[in-house]
């Protein structure tokens, strides 16, 4: 197998793994949420708690990823996570018990972390070792395809399948995705050099940079999770838009599918922090458009912008982590995701509580927008800190003689 074919198979494994752990095990919950509320008696507040429990599982997985340095163990846990993604999806159709659903969402969260962090780290490590660009745009296309795909699947299956049968259908799809996700990712290389003999050396950022980066990413987690979890229900409850929520979720997936590749190109020209700033501003616009403009056009435009930015920000951040820590990329990825995941535990529960009190999800969207404004301002501060640290490093270098 030539090097280019090997690269495409490795990236393909990543795409299929994200289709499985996020498209099937995670994001299918969002378009199925209104159906479960209608047919299975799932309440508004309970729906928020299930989303929060999902992110608790994701956070637990991120903590595990941040503590593991052994590539062989990461590979083994990644493969276990792929199987758990299918198992958690089957569980959703087996019962109407809230405890069973909660266990399923927690396991799905663990599986999501296995795909997003361990899988991404293994793929980035492979790319660096084989002297390919350390960019993840193609890999992360799996998230957008998963979002759009599960929304289209729910829209099609709802014509003839109830909520339970749809969870079983997603389980069957997951079994098919499992095969390339496992077979196309090779066993990790544990040597300390690339294929051309170049030494792999970590170049971690300073402590202040990391603290600000973690705080900014926490805010981005709030900005992301409200729309990602409740978008279908939010749009369905806007005046004149009942039944259009699934269409908006498809728009999120359409916006997200090519986004990471686009943001890779933008980052090459502007630098990673400038690209993150631009994505943050655009995401704020995307979050508030459904409320500020109204109508189907505002909802779809907001969904496209949201889809095109949230996954771009995740891709940029995780790529930066891999560049700082080429020998153990999942370590910083795990720390960043702990911040992101903590926000994703708190925000859905708060949004569900606010929706129960006010009867609308609008307050949750404004919460998300406000958090994104704070996160974008922190990125501005972070850019200044990076400039100062770079200047100090340059000044500290001895003069050549």
Residue 193 confidence class, pLDDT cut points 50, 70, 90: low
The confidence score (pLDDT) of residue 398 equals 45
Q: Is the pLDDT of residue 354 over 90?
A: no
The confidence score (pLDDT) of residue 401 equals 30
C-alpha–C-alpha distance, residues 386 and 389, integer Å: 5
Residue 400 confidence class, pLDDT cut points 50, 70, 90: very low
Ramachandran angles phi, psi of 193, nearest 5°:
-135, 160
- From the list 84, 165, 75, 58, the residue with the least C-alpha distance to 120 is 75
Q: Is the pLDDT of residue 77 over 50?
A: yes
Mean of pLDDT over the chain: 86
Q: What is the pTM of this model?
A: 0.78
pLDDT in tens, 290-345: 878 878 888 899 989 998 998 889 889 988 887 788 777 777 887 888 888 788 77
The confidence score (pLDDT) of residue 397 equals 47
Under 8 Å between Cβ of 253 and 146: yes
The confidence score (pLDDT) of residue 217 equals 94
Contacts of 47 (CB under 8 A, 6+ apart): 33, 36, 37, 233, 352
Q: Is the pLDDT of residue 152 over 90?
A: no
The confidence score (pLDDT) of residue 216 equals 95
Q: Which range has the worst mean pLDDT, 148-162, 191-205, 353-367?
A: 191-205
In percent, how much of the chain has pLDDT > 90?
37
User: Rounded mean pLDDT of 88-93?
Assistant: 96
C-alpha–C-alpha distance, residues 117 and 136, integer Å: 12
User: Rounded mean pLDDT of 141-155?
Assistant: 85
User: Rounded mean pLDDT of 124-150?
Assistant: 82
Residue 195 confidence class, pLDDT cut points 50, 70, 90: low
In the chain, where the domains are located: 7-184+201-393
Under 8 Å between Cβ of 361 and 347: no
Give the residue, 28 or 344, on which the prediction is more confident.
Answer: 28
Give the residue, 228 or 6, on which the prediction is more confident.
Answer: 6
C-alpha–C-alpha distance, residues 334 and 93, integer Å: 31
Q: Which range has the worst mean pLDDT, 101-110, 319-328, 366-375?
A: 319-328
User: Rounded mean pLDDT of 261-266?
Assistant: 90
Give the residue, 148 or 190, on which the prediction is more confident.
Answer: 148
C-alpha–C-alpha distance, residues 238 and 201, integer Å: 52
Token representation of residue 68? 């593991």
C-alpha–C-alpha distance, residues 192 and 326, integer Å: 10
Fold classification of 7-184+201-393 is Growth Hormone; Chain: A; (1.20.1250)
Give the residue, 237 or 273, on which the prediction is more confident.
Answer: 273
pLDDT in tens, 199-244: 666 777 888 989 999 999 999 999 888 877 777 777 887 777 787 8
Residue 399 confidence class, pLDDT cut points 50, 70, 90: very low
Q: Which range has the worst mean pLDDT, 88-102, 349-363, 367-381?
A: 349-363
């Amino acid at each position: 197998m030539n090097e280019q074919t090997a690269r495409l198979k490795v990236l393909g494994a990543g795409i299929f793994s994200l289709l499985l752990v996020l498209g099937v095990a995670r994001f299918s919950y969002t378009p199925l949420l209104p159906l479960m509320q209608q047919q299975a008696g799932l309440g508004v507040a309970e729906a928020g708690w299930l989303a929060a429990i999902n992110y608790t599982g994701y956070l637990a997985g991120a903590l595990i990823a941040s503590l593991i340095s052994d590539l062989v163990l990461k590979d083994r846990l990644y493969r276990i996570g792929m199987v758990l993604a299918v198992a958690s999806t089957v569980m959703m159709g087996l019962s109407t018990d809230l405890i069973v659903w909660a266990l399923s969402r927690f396991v799905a969260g663990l599986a999501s972390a296995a795909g997003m962090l361990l899988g991404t780290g293994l793929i980035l490590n492979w790319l660096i070792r084989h002297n390919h660009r350390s960019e993840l745009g193609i890999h992360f296309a799996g998230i957008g395809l998963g979002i759009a795909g599960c929304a289209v699947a729910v829209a099609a299956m709802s014509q003839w399948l109830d909520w339970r049968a749809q969870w079983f259908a997603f389980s069957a799809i997951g079994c098919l995705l499992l095969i390339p996700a496992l077979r196309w990712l090779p066993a990790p290389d544990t040597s300390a050099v690339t294929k051309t003999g170049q030494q792999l050396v970590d170049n971690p950022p300073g402590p202040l940079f990391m603290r600000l980066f973690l705080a900014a990413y926490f805010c981005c987690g709030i900005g992301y999770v409200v729309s990602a979890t409740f978008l279908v229900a939010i749009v369905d409850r806007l005046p004149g838009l009942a039944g259009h929520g699934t269409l908006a979720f498809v728009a999120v997936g359409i916006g997200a599918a090519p986004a990471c590749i686009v943001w890779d190109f933008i980052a090459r020209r502007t630098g990673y922090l400038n690209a993150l700033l631009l994505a943050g501003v655009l995401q704020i616009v995307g979050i508030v458009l459904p409320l500020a403009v109204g109508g189907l056009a505002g909802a779809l435009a907001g969904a496209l912008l949201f889809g095109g930015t949230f996954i771009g920000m995740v891709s940029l951040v995780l790529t930066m982590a891999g560049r700082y820590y080429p020998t153990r990329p999942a370590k910083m990825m795990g720390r960043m995701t702990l911040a992101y995941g903590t926000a994703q535990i708190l925000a859905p529960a708060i949004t569900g509580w606010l929706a129960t009190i006010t009867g609308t999800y609008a307050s949750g969207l404004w919460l998300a927008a406000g958090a994104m404004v704070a996160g974008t301002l922190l990125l501005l501060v972070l850019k200044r800190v990076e400039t100062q640290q770079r200047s100090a490093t340059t000044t500290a270098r001895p003069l050549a003689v």
